[in-house]
Amino acid sequence: MKKRLSYGIICLLIPFAVIGGAILFSGRMYAWITLCIAVLACVPFFIRFEKGRQNTKRLILIAVMTALSVVGRILFMPIPGFKPVTAMVVITAMYFGSEAGFMTGALSAVISNFYFGQGPWTPFQMFSWGFIGLIAGILSELLKRNKIILCVYAVISGVMYSLLMDIWTVLWADGYFNISRYFAAVISSLHFTIIYAVSNLIFLLLFSKPIGNILERMKDKFAL
């Protein structure tokens, strides 16, 4: 029941808030929409969160992964699109589950945007990175066992992020979803999509094993 409720919030309520807010308010109420999504992104994790020292330590590790994601995005600011955010989100989801992955992705976007700048694009970034974490959590065992599948998902997640963000581009320009403008946006952002995909592949190949080993040891040590 808790799992169904968590996925219902992530897959139904949050997308409705993101897209509905963009259409109804045309980006004017983005601060409130962002706050709403930030709260909703945490709810699925805390629904399945149980009190205890072990789970408190688990929460601390997830907070550390979120911080690494935010710092990594800032450090690589000079290279547009080349960021380790997706890698940190995917690794978190692989070792702590879909809800933790979604929360890490959503919070990474909103926290790092205090540096990069908040705007009507923030809710879409929150959902996009969060959704990538959700899927990574579902596929966690495959991603941990098979490096080829991990590489494929790294590329797919870059494409997925770009396609989801192009929805915001169309809604911002037209106030409604225009399929022809959407395809034009996808084509015009193709070079950024390639950069996203390549950066995800590089960062996951670099960090998935060393960070994964650390998280695995921490989980064993503290019985998380």
For residue 181, count other CB atoms closer than 10 A to its CB.
16
Picking from 14-23, 170-179, 200-209, which range would have the lowest pLDDT averaged per residue?
Answer: 170-179
Q: What total number of domains does the chain contain?
A: 1
Instruction: Give per-residue pLDDT as tens, 3-42.
Output: 788 888 888 889 888 888 878 776 677 888 898 999 999 8
pLDDT for res 208: 93
Instruction: Classify 90 as helix, strand or coil.
Output: helix
Taken in order 59, 61, 67, 69, is the CA torsion positive or negative? negative
Token code pair at residue 148: 């080829």
Q: What is the pTM of this model?
A: 0.90
pLDDT at residue 53 greater than cutoff 70: no
d(CA 107, CA 46): 14
CATH number at residue 119: 1.10.1760.20
Domain that holds residue 198: 2-221
d(CA 95, CA 93): 5
Under the banding of pLDDT at 50, 70 and 90, the label for residue 49 is low
| SS (HEC) of 154-191 | HHHHHHHHHHHHHHHHHHHHHCCCCHHHHHHHHHHCHH
Say which amino acid occupies 203: F
